[in-house]
Structure 1
Amino acid sequence: MSTVLVIGAGDLGERLAAGLAAHPGVRRLLLAGRSGPQVADAVTTVLSSHDCLVEPVRLDALRVEDVASLLATSRPDLVVQCASRRSPWELVGRDDPVARAVAAAGIALRLPYQLAVPHAVMRAAREAGFPGPIANLSLPDVTGPILAALDLAPTIGLGNAGVVLLRARAAWRAAHPDAANTPLIRVVGHHAQVFDVMRADPPADPARRCRIYLDEPGHRDDDLAYQAPGLAPGPRYNHVTAAAALPVLTALLPDAPPLRWSAPAPHGLPGGYPVRIHDQAVSLDLPEGVTAEDAIAFNQRMSTGDGIDHIDDDGTVHFTPTCQEAVADIAADIAEPLPIADLAARAARLDDLLQS
């Protein structure tokens, strides 16, 4: 019976905590967050719904020493990192010039909000000598390779490629209503492609579509990713993200059966890939004839859709010309190269702009 630590008590953190608490292999669940009342409400909801020990933890996950201490004392079998400085949905519904420009630049421009917490958590894990798996929900397709450059990569990311997998499965089932089983479906794709998949709006250029592989031989059917009913962007996507994440999390528990799935950033790779999870270890599960080098190169090309031009060996992020142009008339400095050491200062600069 396992102990799981979930860091982040927002909407998705609570959803994942509830899903894990319902699993028979989880005996004890720690739900940690900065806001005491929010954590208490989430814990009460989960423990009232499932036969699992659920405990609240007040934690500022940006404080490396506090996270390291929690890991050392609680000794979880699995850590789920769901926290960020700000929600990626925060700009939804805003129509002011600054919000429009920042949104148009791509989600990578808001990396100071999405990277700071997983960076602190992974530093804490190294400091505490934590040996178990860590799954990261905070923009893993982009934060994963940055952290990998620092030798701090989480075990795996959550959502994104798994969301595409679920959408492709839904489309396949609709086309084959009498089939007894859904075939093996494997996805190579990047977070930058997920919104088109959710809206059922395939890119005009077939080369920029997610790669979908069917059955063991890996027959390509990329259109399948875009054939489920469309859904406009918004927090409702969290339902699908949680559904895509939970099989990965339960497969990472001790003594869990093996799982073949698709997920972002295994060991810090850019974008998402088919994976095998067994004995709390993650490996690529690419179809025969598809090399890791080709899949990685594809995802690196797709990352421009999020505003990423390239990432230096020291983790410094360089933004695309399109990203830079989007904010040139608002604040050109926020699209300058972003070193890890500048995360806090760049986050404060974004706060000033978005709250003015």
Structure 2
Amino acid sequence: MTPDRQTKILIIGQGVLGGDVLDLLLQSGADLAITVGARNPEKALQRINLARYTALNLGHSQPVDLVGVDLMEIQQTADLIERLKPDIIFNATTLHSWWVITKLPQAAFARLDAGRGGIWTPMHQVLVRKLMKAVRLVDSKAVVVNASYPDVVNASLAGEGLAPSVGIGNIANAVPGIRLAAAHMLNLPPAAVDVRFFAHHYLSYRMPSTGGTDGAPYHLTIYVNGMEIPAEEIDHDALFKSVAGRFRRIKGLAGQSVTASSATAMLLALANPAGQVVHAPGVHGLVGGYPVRITKAGLLVDLPETLTLEEAIDVNYHCQHYDGIESIDVDGTVRFTAASTAVLREVLGYDLNAYRPEECEERAAELAAHFAHYARINGMPSAEAS
């Protein structure tokens, strides 16, 4: 992030997302010094080599360093960060990948999915919380980008002073569809259309699939060639239906490239900050998703003239209820809605309506055990449940 040397990026995790992001970074041609940290270096090496093969086919031959790291070991992670001194750390780890429950039989999946994404927060929080403790331990100045449910996790960690700088995905995944649909409705090329979209994970996940918001609040401003379009000129209901209709995309693991590309856009903007606007969740520990301007001075929520920051936060505060989150207290305590608490109790047999951030590891272990039992009695192979 300085002009006289390469930007150092540490990618932690080489699962589906981490591997896809590595692919895109190597294919971008950006002048980066990339290190991958993985708990299983031998397995990670094969994924790194796959990324390098693909990049070489496209004319890029950038090296990638590989180091072993276990985020559960805070001191080990801190020592690694102190030695590497990365400018950017990208966390692509979690104890519960979002796609795992989709491997359940449809009826079992539907019962559990009614609890919404928020119920898995403890499992998403454990590893990035330990990473942030390591970052603080050595007073690293790295920009930490969290891919693990940042709409909620970043806000909870803020209560401990451990918030990552920003997240990726979620709201960013909905923006391309909105731009394409708006451009089609206005009979313009997509490059002429830009948006500022404010919404929580729930809406950015559901709207592209259903074509509606289910009543969840949001704010959307559309621009053409830099000029704001009056709200009455585009029917949002028709716009969202078009996103889920004409511009519907492949979802699930096969559609993971959208999340990977949103993460790559964020990482490249951070590596060369020039005022780019990238949509992202969890910026500065805020709940939900925002357009974020990337500058040399830092990350700024990019607000349209008609919206204040307080109003943008309020939109996301109320939108999070649809994802099963009642509130996040000042100390980071996560409180689930009554409906999501009922799903945990009635479907998984697990009583949990709130937890403090320091309890996330214990709650995650309990939740994992209850889910493993549910998956087993519903016929999911144990390998897919992990």
CA contact (8 A) 2:24 2:264 kept: yes
In structure 2, the partner of 1:84 is 94
1:282-301 superposed matches below 5 A: 282-301=299-318
Aligned counterpart in structure 1 of residue 294 of structure 2, from 274, 277, 285: 277
Task: Tell me, in whole angstroms, the C-alpha distance in 1 between the residues paired with 2:188 and 2:160.
Answer: 49
350 and 100 in structure 1: CA distance in 2 versus 1, 3 angstrom threshold: farther
Task: Tell me, in whole angstroms, the C-alpha distance in 1 between the residues paired with 2:217 and 2:248.
Answer: 16
Amino acid at match of 1:290: L
Aligned counterpart in structure 2 of residue 116 of structure 1, from 114, 126, 144: 126
Please, what TM-score do these two structures have when normalized by structure 1? 0.92
1:178-257 superposed matches below 5 A: 178-179=188-189, 181-205=191-215, 208=216, 210-215=218-223, 216-217=227-228, 219-220=230-231, 221=234, 222-223=236-237, 224-228=239-243, 229-231=247-249, 233-253=251-271, 255-257=272-274
Task: Tell me, in whole angstroms, the C-alpha distance in 1 between the residues paired with 2:89 and 2:81.
Answer: 9
SS of residue matched to 1:80: strand
CA contact (8 A) 2:34 2:63 kept: yes
Task: Tell me, in whole angstroms, the C-alpha distance in 2 between the residues paired with 1:96 and 1:242.
Answer: 26
Task: Tell me, in whole angstroms, the C-alpha distance in 2 between the residues paired with 1:59 and 1:204.
Answer: 42
Question: Could you give the per-residue CA deviations for residues 229-267 of structure 1, whole angstroms, max 9, x where no partner exists?
Answer: 3346421331111122222110101x4432022211110
Q: CA RMSD in A?
A: 2.2
In structure 2, the partner of 1:6 is 11
Task: Tell me, in whole angstroms, the C-alpha distance in 1 between the residues paired with 2:351 and 2:38.
Answer: 28
Amino acid at match of 1:326: V
Structure 2's unaligned 5+ residue stretches are: 1-5, 374-386
What is the number of residues matched between the two proteins?
Answer: 353
210 and 236 in structure 1: CA distance in 2 versus 1, 3 angstrom threshold: farther
In structure 2, the partner of 1:264 is 281
SS of residue matched to 1:184: strand
How many Å apart are 1:334 and its aligned residue? Answer: 3.9
197 and 17 in structure 1: CA distance in 2 versus 1, 3 angstrom threshold: same
Question: Could you give the per-residue CA deviations for residues 19-46 of structure 1, whole angstroms, max 9, x where no partner exists?
Answer: 2223343332111222233311111112
237 and 190 in structure 1: CA distance in 2 versus 1, 3 angstrom threshold: farther
Please, what TM-score do these two structures have when normalized by structure 2? 0.85
Matched, 1:346 2:363: yes
Aligned counterpart in structure 2 of residue 59 of structure 1, from 62, 66, 69: 69
Task: Tell me, in whole angstroms, the C-alpha distance in 2 between the residues paired with 1:159 and 1:280.
Answer: 23
CA contact (8 A) 1:196 1:226 kept: no
SS of residue matched to 1:277: strand
Question: Could you give the per-residue CA deviations for residues 106-125 of structure 1, whole angstroms, max 9, x where no partner exists?
Answer: 22111121111111111111
Aligned counterpart in structure 2 of residue 153 of structure 1, from 158, 163, 169: 163
Structure 1's unaligned 5+ residue stretches are: none
In structure 1, the partner of 2:50 is 45
CA contact (8 A) 1:102 1:109 kept: no
Task: Tell me, in whole angstroms, the C-alpha distance in 2 between the residues paired with 1:214 and 1:336.
Answer: 38
How many Å apart are 1:146 and its aligned residue? Answer: 0.5
Question: Could you give the per-residue CA deviations for residues 306-352 of structure 1, whole angstroms, max 9, x where no partner exists?
Answer: 11111122211111001012133245544231122222222221222
Task: Tell me, in whole angstroms, the C-alpha distance in 2 between the residues paired with 1:234 and 1:289.
Answer: 35
SS of residue matched to 1:227: helix
SS of residue matched to 2:14: coil
Identity percentage over the alignment? 25
Task: Tell me, in whole angstroms, the C-alpha distance in 2 between the residues paired with 1:251 and 1:197.
Answer: 27
Question: Could you give the per-residue CA deviations for residues 121-167 of structure 1, whole angstroms, max 9, x where no partner exists?
Answer: 11111111111211111101011110111111111110112112111
CA contact (8 A) 1:334 1:349 kept: no
How many Å apart are 1:96 and its aligned residue? Answer: 8.3
Task: Tell me, in whole angstroms, the C-alpha distance in 2 between the residues paired with 1:70 and 1:305.
Answer: 39
Question: Could you give the per-residue CA deviations for residues 251-293 of structure 1, whole angstroms, max 9, x where no partner exists?
Answer: 101x443202221111011111122101161001110120111
